[in-house]
Amino acid sequence: MAPKNGQGGSQQRSAWLCYTGIFNEAYKKAINVKYIRLPDLLYDLDQARAKGNYKKKLRALSRIELLIIDEFLLTPTTSVNISHVLHHLYTV
């Protein structure tokens, strides 16, 4: 979601434009790409864990060639959550 006028500084807008550009270029080249905010990713993983389909969710994430994670470590998270994300990033 693009920052609205008056919300966020120029760094936030620059980061958003960068992510958008990367996403669009990857999409044009038929690269399987997904943009997600870290809080949303952690929520999705927690929900998958609670429903018993955590491994299925990780398999689905592992099929994504380019995973753009925004707001990485900008919001308070537990070490367990970060461990899961990093484990996914480095074992795929």
pLDDT, tens digit (0-9, with 9 covering 90-100), for 29-41: 888 888 888 889 9
Question: Mean pLDDT lowest for which of 13-22, 32-41, 42-51, 81-90?
Answer: 13-22
Q: Which residues contact 43 (CB under 8 A, 6 or more apart)?
A: none
The pLDDT tens digits of the residues spanning 3-39 come to: 444 444 555 555 665 667 777 888 788 888 888 888 8
49 SS3 class: helix
Cα separation, 88 vs 90, in Å, equals 6
Confidence of residue 2 (pLDDT cuts 50, 70, 90): very low
* Helices marked H in 29-78: 38-51, 54-62
56 vs 82, higher pLDDT:
56
Residues 42, 85 contacting (CB under 8 angstroms): yes
The b-or-e profile of 3-25 (16+ CB within 10 A means b, else e) is eeeeeeeeeeeeeeeeeeeebee
Q: Cα–Cα distance between 83 and 11 in angstroms, integer?
A: 27
Report the pLDDT averaged over residues 39-49. Answer: 89
